[in-house]
Structure 1
Amino acid sequence: MLIISASMGAGHDGVARELAGRLTRDGAQVQVIDVLRLLPLRLGPLLRWWYRTTVQRTPWIYEIVYQVFFVRRSPVSPLARLAAPRLRALTTREAPAHVVSTFHLAAQVTGLMRARGTLTAPSTVLVTDFTLHRLWLHPGNDRYLCPTPGTAHAATAATHRPATAYAPLVRPAFHTRGRPAAARTVLVSAGAWGVGQVTRTAQVLAASGRYTPVVLCGGNTRLARRLDAAGLGPALGWRDDLPHLMAAAYALVDNAAGLTCVEAFAAGLPVVSYRPIPGHGRAGALAMARAGLTAHAADATALLAELDRLADPRHRARRTAAAGTLFAAPAAETLIRTDDPARTGGA
């Protein structure tokens, strides 16, 4: 099996690694590749640099790009056409029995190739976002696996291809539940790159006197130094013990609607979205709130109010139970290991 991910942050790669591990334990031979490496002329690293720099320094530009190129209807991304020749060469050489995409550009490439007949293996798109933008949706793909039944129905409506909800792919360690810390430690997630207005979030929490912010800065060492200098620590870099931190935390304040949110769902840790990054971050945060999986705080007052509500055991239990229902869906690896998805029926 071939899994196509993307080194855009850590979420898509994290999902791909977990899926690859499960499929390998089931006896499959699995190869994971980065779709950015399929692009010629070093366009992949350039694309990653542009995205990271724009989100950090001029997020309003990324919001415009997202609305124009991700949300509105338009032809297949030209990047997909550029990546297709290298993927065709790889699949011709390796002859995978199944191809799975965990990133929207990869889904565009595989959909384009399936429609042209240049990819013979069935193609499954494993959607990692809680909101569907058009780049996930190419009708050439055989099947879609989506994080919720609602997104699965939307995928079928847009592509007329089978779509099914799947249980989120997180490490088993996240399913270990702990007791909320008495000090009301609140984890603040800034993603793998440490982006967004998390310094302001930490200031709001610290100034309340009721919560202690612990900011997850990812690989952004400058952010960690700024927070420490401002007395807004602890500010943590990349951590492998996130399951342990979540098990002891009171809540997670998130700004990206990505893998860290899903890991918190598995850990039974309530999530409040605040100051989400533009584009897919804001869209995903609003979609999760509409589904009752998280709360979305529009301002600092609302943020503290949402956190205060979590002190009520009944409210807390309702919130974590709603998120926990996601894991009742079928396992992604089980769905992927079925026969040719083009013959397995609808959503």
Structure 2
Amino acid sequence: MTEPRKIFILYARFGEGHLQAASALRQSFVQQGEAEVKLIDLLAESHPVINEVSRFVYNKSYNVLPQVYGWVYETTKSMKPDSLFSSWLHSFGALTLRRLIERERPDAIVHTFPMLVLPLVARKLRKKIPMFNVVTDFDLHRRWVHPDVSKYYVATEDIRQQLCELGVEPHRVAASGIPIRPGFFRESIQSLSSAGSLGEFQKPNVLVMPCVNSAPTEIAAICRNLTRRCNALVTVVCGRNQMMQRYFSDTLRGVPGVTVLGYVEQIGELMANSSCIVTKPGGLTLSEALASELPIFLYRPVPGQERNNAIYLESKGAAVVCSSVQQLLGAVSELLQSPNRREEMLRAIQALRKKDASDAIALDISRQLNIMEEATSSTAMPTIRYWDESSRIRT
């Protein structure tokens, strides 16, 4: 019996999306029985102080000075992998990764965060280790791009085309979708057993997932007005932010039809029983909403990748970007009152959503590694396998 491959998945805790994508991929690899997977927060393990300072600055710039964050993001968006800045950025964690590679000898490294120190380490070790990048946004930043990447997995055909225009061979890019946890596809989910106890199936349910930089008074006003103007039930999910949960629980106490929740384990079931979602445009949350066929309303997205995510989905008809409370209420009201508007958005969502992205990526990486192993053990040219949406892989 052959030993399972060892795969490192490198992520970072700048937001939860990179870790969620990494966790979904690990689950897929384990279920397929293809690999022993280790999740590594490389910056945290190698430079814990720098990691904490970076996260603090990131959160503050993101929440307090979003325009500055957006400027930095856009200014560095076209960075080249051979630039001095890129080389410096991709040098953090080199000693730690080298020690891990020498000790555990991984067969491949997967990134759900663009901390691409592997090429530097591999050159020093004189060792070729396959590297796979799983881009976790609907917007492409050149920080993800490096000539040593074996294959890219991206959210959309548009990003795939962008990479090809940058010179990446078509067979090295797959429009796979972003890996999400299982349980986000509407046709595979049973209705919440608790939903029946509400006794109000005739009312639409609007799911609100505020982020830390949201103006709490505005979000509370949105929730109140959704129940009055749209005759809707409103479920506010605050995640692990206990301060936010306490605020909305106190502020919205006594408002009929409003439920405030903290962290929800089965968020897929909650999405499946909702009519639409008001949220921030993080790549993972948007992918989960698309998988659940939820019309998406995005309230005042911050500059950077999230605003670009929002603009992209709006351009495709799957989301509505709103800059004021009244604009948001009007857009949600239109959706809930107009079957034609809802069908229009659902068609756009169905054109974008990718089923089983995590399983498909894990399977394709395993097959890519098989091809590489066959190529090193044979003088014959390896067969190149290309991505295909109908069968996921074709020869």
TM-score, normalised relative to structure 1: 0.87
Q: 1:119, 1:318 → 2: CA distance?
A: 51
Q: 1:234, 1:207 → 2: CA distance?
A: 14
Q: Specify the SS of the correspondent of 1:76.
A: helix
Question: How far 1:119 sits from its partner (Å)?
Answer: 5.2
1:185 matched to 2:185? The reply is no
State whether residues 111 and 139 of structure 1, in contact with CA within 8 Å, keep that contact through their aligned partners in structure 2.
no
Question: How far 1:103 sits from its partner (Å)?
Answer: 0.8
Structure 2 gap ranges (5+): 1-6, 373-381, 388-395
State whether residues 23 and 333 of structure 1, in contact with CA within 8 Å, keep that contact through their aligned partners in structure 2.
yes
1:332 matched to 2:361? The reply is yes
From the superposition, tell whether residues 202 and 119 of structure 1 become closer, same or farther in structure 2 (CA, over 3 Å).
farther
Instruction: Quote the residue 1:139 is aligned against.
Output: 147
Q: 1:327, 1:92 → 2: CA distance?
A: 37
Q: 2:349, 2:333 → 1: CA distance?
A: 19
Aligned residue type for 1:226:
Y
1:4 matched to 2:10? The reply is yes
Instruction: Quote the residue 2:3 is aligned against.
Output: none
Matches within 5 A, 1:81-160: 81-105=91-115, 108-113=116-121, 120-158=128-166, 160=168
Q: Specify the SS of the correspondent of 1:30.
A: strand
Aligned residue among 43, 63, 66 for 2:73: 66
State whether residues 225 and 329 of structure 2, in contact with CA within 8 Å, keep that contact through their aligned partners in structure 1.
no
Matches within 5 A, 1:45-64: 45-64=52-71
State whether residues 110 and 140 of structure 1, in contact with CA within 8 Å, keep that contact through their aligned partners in structure 2.
no
From the superposition, tell whether residues 260 and 283 of structure 1 become closer, same or farther in structure 2 (CA, over 3 Å).
same
Question: How far 1:285 sits from its partner (Å)?
Answer: 1.0
TM-score, normalised relative to structure 2: 0.77
Instruction: Quote the residue 2:378 is aligned against.
Output: none
From the superposition, tell whether residues 265 and 148 of structure 1 become closer, same or farther in structure 2 (CA, over 3 Å).
same
1:306 matched to 2:306? The reply is no
1:201 matched to 2:219? The reply is yes
Aligned residue type for 1:7:
R
Aligned residue type for 2:350:
G
Deviations 1:280-332 (A, max 9, x none): 21111112222333222243333223212323334323323432343258721
State whether residues 219 and 238 of structure 1, in contact with CA within 8 Å, keep that contact through their aligned partners in structure 2.
yes
Instruction: Quote the residue 1:216 is aligned against.
Output: 237
Aligned residue among 262, 272, 276 for 1:237: 262
Q: Specify the SS of the correspondent of 1:273.
A: strand
From the superposition, tell whether residues 121 and 148 of structure 1 become closer, same or farther in structure 2 (CA, over 3 Å).
same
The number of residues matched between the two structures is 343
Q: 1:181, 1:249 → 2: CA distance?
A: 11
State whether residues 2 and 100 of structure 1, in contact with CA within 8 Å, keep that contact through their aligned partners in structure 2.
yes
Q: 2:52, 2:127 → 1: CA distance?
A: 25
Q: 1:256, 1:119 → 2: CA distance?
A: 39
1:21 matched to 2:27? The reply is yes
Instruction: Quote the residue 1:317 is aligned against.
Output: 343
Aligned residue type for 2:92:
L
Instruction: Quote the residue 1:269 is aligned against.
Output: 294
State whether residues 254 and 276 of structure 1, in contact with CA within 8 Å, keep that contact through their aligned partners in structure 2.
no
From the superposition, tell whether residues 183 and 21 of structure 1 become closer, same or farther in structure 2 (CA, over 3 Å).
same
State whether residues 292 and 319 of structure 1, in contact with CA within 8 Å, keep that contact through their aligned partners in structure 2.
yes
Q: 2:293, 2:279 → 1: CA distance?
A: 15
Aligned residue type for 1:173:
G
State whether residues 81 and 109 of structure 1, in contact with CA within 8 Å, keep that contact through their aligned partners in structure 2.
yes
Q: 1:297, 1:96 → 2: CA distance?
A: 46
State whether residues 188 and 215 of structure 1, in contact with CA within 8 Å, keep that contact through their aligned partners in structure 2.
yes
Question: How far 1:141 sits from its partner (Å)?
Answer: 1.5
Kindly report the root-mean-square deviation, in angstroms, between the aligned alpha carbons of the 2 structures: 2.8
Aligned residue type for 2:151:
R
Moved more, 329-338 or 111-120: 111-120
